Structure 1
């Protein structure tokens, strides 16, 4: 058992403890974390990881390859600090994944300046995503944590989805997700960047994402802020509901996207509910200070006819208090619209929009519900 001085333990508890909520936490960078104590355990191979995770609270993973078909399991002790150095790469295997699975309570995970988590998606992409072709790992970075900060994480070439989050009181800051290679021959599909579900008190901030599906997607969660996130090539800053046949698993409440941008994407803001799912309520969602650039379908799409897009929306999900404030940008292409709203009968109430302006559309807005403050 490694023993730490009282001062070191106290400082780490302050930095990594139970305060990783929407406000009031203090985060640290890689160099600061590394210098807090000399008692880090270094794993320089996949085989070393299980014993080190079991016996150490302060861990550095350094530059190794995970064998084909194996998950890098990081079941961290309470109050652990985990640092990434060098490149963590995953040998190719046609399986479900995940590639990394992190669990724990009140933890901190930080990437070094030159580290990289490489999913090797270029060996899987076949233009069919998760719905066909070769079997692809569904998650590169899977998180099931209560209380934690994840900071400055670099991820490249996810086979399909990149980051899946389940948990509470979590902050994700400084993520750099790079799937630029996936645009070659349009082979990368279903590469959702950051998705969280069944979660509460989540912050995603100060991040850059290049991918080919939803940039950030919120499912069955509450009390979250997504801020200063910048996306390219994505499918939208997204809210999803109706994915479950169970009514209790469809609610979304108190979500804010602010100071974000999205460009070169299929949609800018994408709000989708699934008619085949159970009942639920989406309440108090705000998009504030959103810049949309060169979107190729709809600048803003709120649809209750997903995924058929057939103009026959359902009212199984109620959408209340949808607020858009200072949402501006451009669309381009012959089939584009600035705004499309397809609400089920009586299912959309109390929407307030202000300073919403999307230009460049070749088709008129298509709205069967009219928000206060916006004419379409």
Structure 2
């Protein structure tokens, strides 16, 4: 699923080009840096503490319904999560947590949990049903590390990211409960928009929409050792903005990742209608394992979301490389590959060792990559 993100309240994270000022602590080291941690034990304590403290612990408590836990951190802050954080039920836009800052670290303790309470909202209709808080974890940061964050039962989108020079590591999103009766939908895992110099690594996502989604305006994004289940793809999506600067996506790599039990395995998509110009350049998927896909193991389309073959060519897709992409689809009716490009808008796709089994349905391609016959 694609979504519009307001830059005023985004969550961002990156590793490429991290400033030398940033130090990457584990939880125990961070906890022992000082005995002067300030503890946020209730929602009302947060505003005063973030204004005066640079070493902060968020403990377990309930955030009142319809309220955002805003953590506008001072420079060089270290923020730790401990205990279980929950949120009162209200039908509003969210987000539940909003974090900003420069040169900061956000670290989850071993037994901490951010529980979104999605089971109290899910109705099988996702964004089209009752109003649901759209983001559990929303962050706007420049030069930061975020690690070992546990999130459960997102009502809708889980994590949204905007910013630069950030590292995202050890993120665990568990929306397993949402598979019961198909009630959870549009629970996008981690979404990056208008960001640059990002690494997402060593993470696990169980959800019911895009597992990882790179949106327009992103460049130099590296996703490695991330494993998704139930999602709609390891995705790159754009076309929702009116300018090339906000639609362009450049130099994105997914490496050593897996996606199983999903709707689509690898998903590169521009919208139709496409609101403005732009391009995808240097998109790479390397060492990707796909399993139990129900629609397409690999789908590159410019007719999203209707999937009707009426593709736009306002945006260009230049250079989509697939290297060692293997696995299987769940049913014989699922396709191995679908490529539906606008007239003249796709070029320079180079594929090698792409092997998907389990389908008796022919590939559907109006553009043909080198190294693969479809």
Measure how far apart 1:335 and its partner are. 2.5
1:22·1:225 contact (CA, 8 Å) conserved in 2?
no
Task: State yes or no: 1:264 paired with 2:261.
Answer: yes
Mapped partners of 1:195, 1:75: distance in 2? 21
Q: Match for residue 192 of structure 1?
A: 188
Mapped partners of 1:369, 1:140: distance in 2? 39
Q: Match for residue 179 of structure 1?
A: 175
Measure how far apart 1:29 and its partner are. 1.0
Q: Match for residue 322 of structure 1?
A: 320
Task: State yes or no: 1:295 paired with 2:290.
Answer: no
**1:361–1:22 distance in 2 versus 1, CA, 3 Å:** farther
Q: Match for residue 366 of structure 1?
A: 364
Q: Match for residue 4 of structure 2?
A: none
* TM superposition score normalised by structure 1: 0.93
Mapped partners of 2:272, 2:316: distance in 1? 12
Higher gyration radius (CA) = 1
Task: Compare relative contact order (CA 8 Å, sep 6+) and give the higher one, 1 or 2.
Answer: 2
Match of 1:241 among 238, 243, 255: 238
Measure how far apart 1:318 and its partner are. 0.4
Task: State yes or no: 1:21 paired with 2:19.
Answer: no
Match of 1:161 among 134, 157, 162: 157
Q: Show structure 1 runs of 4+ deviating over 2 A.
A: 18-27, 245-248
Aligned residues: 358
Measure how far apart 1:73 and its partner are. 0.2
1:105·1:147 contact (CA, 8 Å) conserved in 2?
yes
1:286·1:322 contact (CA, 8 Å) conserved in 2?
yes
**1:22–1:360 distance in 2 versus 1, CA, 3 Å:** farther
Measure how far apart 1:275 and its partner are. 2.3
Mapped partners of 2:340, 2:14: distance in 1? 40
Q: Match for residue 357 of structure 1?
A: 355
2:202·2:225 contact (CA, 8 Å) conserved in 1?
yes
Match of 1:57 among 54, 66, 69: 54
CA deviation profile, 1:333-370 (whole Å, cap 9, x unmatched): 24300000001111111111001011101301111111
1:22·1:171 contact (CA, 8 Å) conserved in 2?
no
Measure how far apart 1:20 and its partner are. 4.6
Mapped partners of 2:15, 2:322: distance in 1? 27
1:325·1:354 contact (CA, 8 Å) conserved in 2?
yes
Task: State yes or no: 1:340 paired with 2:335.
Answer: no
Partner SS, residue 127 of structure 2:
helix
1:275·1:316 contact (CA, 8 Å) conserved in 2?
no
Q: Match for residue 78 of structure 2?
A: 81
2:139·2:162 contact (CA, 8 Å) conserved in 1?
yes
Measure how far apart 1:279 and its partner are. 1.1
1:21·1:147 contact (CA, 8 Å) conserved in 2?
no
Measure how far apart 1:247 and its partner are. 3.1
1:153·1:175 contact (CA, 8 Å) conserved in 2?
yes
Partner SS, residue 83 of structure 2:
strand
Mapped partners of 2:368, 2:140: distance in 1? 39
Mapped partners of 1:21, 1:81: distance in 2? 20
Unaligned runs of 5+ in 1: 1-17
Task: State yes or no: 1:152 paired with 2:156.
Answer: no
Partner SS, residue 211 of structure 2:
strand
Measure how far apart 1:314 and its partner are. 1.2
* TM superposition score normalised by structure 2: 0.94
Measure how far apart 1:372 and its partner are. 0.8
1:275·1:315 contact (CA, 8 Å) conserved in 2?
no
Measure how far apart 1:22 and its partner are. 5.1
Mapped partners of 1:20, 1:251: distance in 2? 20
Unaligned runs of 5+ in 2: 1-12
Match of 1:223 among 189, 206, 220: 220
Q: Match for residue 31 of structure 1?
A: 28
